[in-house]
Chains A and B, each alone.
Chain A
Amino acid sequence: MCLAIPGKVIDLFEQRGLQMAKVQFGGIVREACLEYVPDTQIGNYVLVHVGFAISKVDEEEAARTYKLLEEMDQLTELSAPSVEEKPARKVG
């Protein structure tokens, strides 16, 4: 469970003062906290572990790693249920 999953940042927003992003993993989009990789931009690829971006990676690395995790059946954390709250405020 220490493996981080690479995804593409498709939107940035702020939630209760935290920098957040919508990150696309294959066909799934989930939220991730960007506080630990604060210079992330839309279009960047990030490694996400339990809802937190921990490092940026390039697109090739992201694609390769994602495929391996899929084969190793290590993507189950992405299917954990979402907890919805009031809509977040969009930045910019």
Chain B
Amino acid sequence: MKYLDEYRNGELARKVVGEIRRIQTRPWVIMEVCGGQTHSIVKHGLDYLLPESIELVHGPGCPVCVTPLEMIDKAHAIARRPEVIFCSFGDMLRVPGSEGDLLMLKSQGSDVRIVYSPLDCLKIARANPEKKIVFFAIGFETTAPANAMLVWRAREEGVKNVSILVSHVLVPPAIAAILQSPQNRVQGFLGPGHVCAIMGYSEYEPISARYKVPIAITGFEPLDLLEGTLMTVRQLEAGRAEVENQYARVLTRDGNRPAQKLVNSVFEVCDRKWRGIGSIPKSGYKLRYEFRDHDAERLFEVQEIDTKEPAICISGQILKGIKKPHDCPAFGTQCTPQRPLGATMVSAEGACAAYYAYGRHLKKEPMPAASGTAARSAV
């Protein structure tokens, strides 16, 4: 069972951290993009293991978190309709809209169902021809091929009573938006491993070149994250800015071509609003015109919904790496996973929820870093 321990091997981890310490000559701010990476970093305390002057900030890569509140309200408005069976991944059920969550709607009699795979919606649609089946299609590039297949098959098989409510977002435009911000502090990125398993990483190369930032496409095991950090620090110290692949055992530069092909057949790129951040140009997917009969937003003509986020919430700045959960006065007091105020607390993969889950709300300032403070005050 040696291999089980290889990526938790304390000795190896110490070596990697030792190497980071040895080569690092100045403070660096590195962002991990994916919510799964954030969860792993906080769970294993990797940010405590690193030298104090290497600061990890947590990016926008949690799809549940960045789904706009008005999109959640739209989902609820559709789910309330008596002719609808509303299907969703389990993650979205407890995310509060302006009035309650999907679980509450279910308890009030709406037909809300958790599905394992988007394809399950086709089975539900065939079994319930008198009903309209709506699937809440959220996610990053990793999930897009599954959601695209649902729509593709619905059209191929002539299943007319299934549609999707699309809230798909893309990682590279979000990275570019973070780098364009005048307040940006991020100097290098740990790129999202499973997103790149689908998309490959060639689309990160122009970003790395244009903004002169190193990007290491990284897995989410503790040693992956430390190795990705080492690769990024090496580049920063050497003044290089390239895309490197730490996660070569899972992905290639080209990604999964069959998946990309179907995604491009079903979806096209559009502007999307990100919860906490706002609108980012060309940062998401919408259905292509030929699939309009499966577009829930068109079919149900949900009115533009006006929502208001609590002014105290700083999740937008957290998602951009400008602030951290402890910078928020509401963190762990007014704002908890049970009563989240904003994006980064609504899902276990959000930075605030991860900090809370591992008890970091119990300490006022758990970062050991004098340098972290210095870096913040320098902004």
Contact = CB atoms under 8 A, between A and B. Distances in A.
Contacts of B120: 51, 82-83
Contacts of A51: 116-120, 146
Interface centre among A4, A36, A38 (most CB of B within 10 A): A36
Given A54-B142, A64-B4, A85 B123 contact: yes
A35 B89 contact: no
Interface of B: 3-4, 6-7, 34-36, 39-40, 43, 61-64, 89-91, 113-120, 123-124, 126-127, 139-140, 142-143, 145-146, 149, 153, 157, 192, 194-195, 197-198, 220-221, 249-251, 256, 258-259, 262, 347-349
B258 A77 contact: no
A1 B3 contact: no
Contact of A35 (B34, B113, B140, B258): B258
A84 B91 CA distance: 22
A89 interface: no
B89 A77 contact: yes
A48 to B, nearest CB: 9
A60 B256 CA distance: 21
A55 B197 contact: yes
A29 interface: no
B146 A77 contact: no
Interface residues of A, number: 43
A66 B142 CA distance: 18
A91 interface: no
A4 B116 contact: no
Interface in A1-52: 1-4, 16, 18, 30-33, 35-38, 47, 49-52
9 contacts: A1-B91, A3-B220, A4-B194, A52-B149, A54-B198, A54-B256, A57-B249, A81-B114, A83-B123
Given A36-B256, A36-B258, A72-B43, A50 B89 contact: yes
A54 B197 contact: yes
Contacts of B194: 2-4, 47, 49, 54
Interface centre among B4, B36, B116 (most CB of A within 10 A): B116
Given A2-B36, A33-B119, A55 B157 contact: no
Contact of A50 (B36, B143, B221): B143
Contact of A38 (B251, B258, B349): B258
